[in-house]
Structure 1
Amino acid sequence: MRRNNSQMNLYGKGSLPIVGCLVLFSVVLGTTDLGFIPVPTAAKSATIMHLPTIVASLLEGWPAGMIVGAVFGLTSMYTPSSAVASDPLVVLLPRILVGITPYLTYRWTGMLGEYSRLGLAAVVGTLTNTVGFLGMAWFLGYFDFETIVDVAWKHGLPEIVVAVLIVLPAVVLLRKAQVWIETVLD
C-alpha cells in the first residue's frame, strides 16, 4: 500500500525505523560533536543537529519531530560547551519546537510546489532553532542583544543554506525508503 507523501503520521509501518534512525543520528551528531561546527563567535559553535528534527517532522509529523527534537535538546544539554548550553529553557524548549514548526509550515503551504514547501519548512525549522535558542539566551541574560544579532547573522544564514541543501534530498530519499519498507513489511 503506497502512502501519500503529504500524509504524515506516526503510525505507518515504515515510521518506527525512520524515527529510530533519526533519533540515533541526533545522538551521534551530539555526542561525537559532529553536529556542532566550531566557530569564533560568542555561541562557540554552529549546529546541524536540528536537521534530523526537521526531517522527522516532515516525514512523520509533529509528534515524531518533537521526539527527535527532545533528543536533540537533551543531547545538547548533557554535552554542553558553555553554561548557556546546559540551561534546559534555552536548549530543550526551542529544540522541541523545531519539531513542530516545519510540519506546520509544510501543511500550511499546500498551494506551493513540493520542493518549495520542503525548502520553506527547512528555513522555518532552522529559524525556530536559531531564534528560539538565541531568544531564550537573551531573555535569560546569557547574552546581550548585540551579541545575539551578531551570532544570528553569522550562524543563522549559513545554517539555513545547509538546512535546505540537506533536508530537501533527505526527505525525498527517505520517503522512497518508507515506501520500500512498507512494501517489504506487507
Structure 2
Amino acid sequence: MEREIQSTKLKVRQLVITGMLSAISIFLGLTGLGFIKIPPVQATIMHIPVIIGAIIEGPIVGAFIGLCFGLFSMYQAFTAPTPTSFIFWNPIIALLPRILIGVVSYYSYIFMKKAINKNAKVSGITVILLFSFMLYLVFRTFFGTVQSTIIGALVFIILLGLFFKFNVSEKNWVLTIGTASIFGTLANTIGVLSLVHLIYIERFANVIKISPDKAGKFIIGIGITNGIPEALISAIITMPVVIAVLKIRK
C-alpha cells in the first residue's frame, strides 16, 4: 500500500514538472525571452527546460517536454512563417531532435556520474578541454587562428585552476550537469541541421541563395556560430537551477 502511494506521488510529481517546464519553454518562445542576442548570433534557451526535466526526472519526462517543445516549433512555423519555416513543417525535423534533447541529456548525466566515480580528475580535465575547444571554434569563425588559440588556452588555464579549487561535491555538480547540458543542446543542433542537409539541402540552398555545394559548409557554420554558444549558455543556466532542485530534495 505504501509503495502504491509513493508511486502515485512520483507520477503526479512528474506530470506537474512536465507541464510546468513545457509551459516555460512555450512561454519563452511566445514572449521572445527564449532568445539571447550575442552579436552577431542569436542563441535560443527554449530547450533548457527539456534538459532540466531530463536530469531531474529522467529520460521519459525529458523526452515528453522535448515533444511539447517540438510541437510548439511546428505551431510557430505554420502560424508565423519565414522563408525557412518549411523545415519545421516536417514533423521529423521539428520533433525528433527535440525529443532526443531529453534522452541525450539524461544519459550524458548518468555517464558522467559513472566516469567521475572512476576518475574525477581525468573526467574534469576532459570536459574542460571540450569546453575550451568549443570556444576556440566559435572565436575562430570571427577571428584568426592565433587569437582564437590564445583565447582557448587562457580559458582552459582559468577553468583548470578553478576546477582544482572546487571541493569534491562542487566538481561533481559542475561536471555532470554541465556535460549533460552541452550534449543535450548539441543533440538538438546536430539533429536539426543533419536532417536539413539530408532532406532539404537543395530547397534550403535556393532559399538562402547559394549553391547546394556550398550549403553544407553554410550549415556547419550555423552549427558552430549558433549551436556552440547555445550549448555553453545552457550549461551556465542549467547548473544552478538543477543544483538548487537536487539540494532541496535531499
Determine if the alignment matches structure 1 residue 109 to structure 2 residue 124.
no
Q: 1 CA distance for matches of 2:228 and 2:32?
A: 21
Amino acid at match of 2:88: A
Counterpart of 2:15?
16
Q: 1 CA distance for matches of 2:92 and 2:39?
A: 24
TM-score between the two structures when normalised by the length of structure 1: 0.80
Q: 2 CA distance for matches of 1:63 and 1:168?
A: 20
Counterpart of 1:96?
99
In our comparison, the structure showing a higher alpha carbon Rg is: 2
Q: Say which SS state the counterpart of residue 46 (structure 1) adopts.
A: strand
Quote the RMSD (CA, aligned, Å).
Answer: 2.4
Q: 1 CA distance for matches of 2:87 and 2:97?
A: 13
1:30 is displaced (CA, Å) by: 2.3
Bigger relative contact order (CA 8 A; separation at least 6): 1
Could you list the per-position Cα deviations for residues 95-145 of structure 1 after superposition, in whole angstroms to 9, with x for gaps in the alignment? 001110010111112232232011000010010011011111111124421
Counterpart of 2:26?
27
Residues 35 and 87 of structure 1: is their aligned pair in 2 closer, same or farther, counting only changes over 3 Å?
farther
Contiguous gaps of at least 5 residues in structure 1: 1-9, 181-186
Q: 2 CA distance for matches of 1:175 and 1:23?
A: 19
Q: 2 CA distance for matches of 1:107 and 1:24?
A: 26
Number of residue-to-residue matches in the alignment: 168
Taking only the aligned residue pairs, the percentage that are identical comes to: 35
The structure whose residues are more often helix, as a share, is 2
Could you list the per-position Cα deviations for residues 50-85 of structure 1 after superposition, in whole angstroms to 9, with x for gaps in the alignment? 110011000000000011000000001110242213
1:36 is displaced (CA, Å) by: 3.7
Q: 2 CA distance for matches of 1:75 and 1:55?
A: 18
TM-score between the two structures when normalised by the length of structure 2: 0.61
Determine if the alignment matches structure 1 residue 155 to structure 2 residue 226.
yes
Contiguous gaps of at least 5 residues in structure 2: 1-8, 117-171, 205-214
1:20 is displaced (CA, Å) by: 2.1
Q: Structure 1 stretch 11-20 or stretch 123-132: which is displaced more? A: 11-20
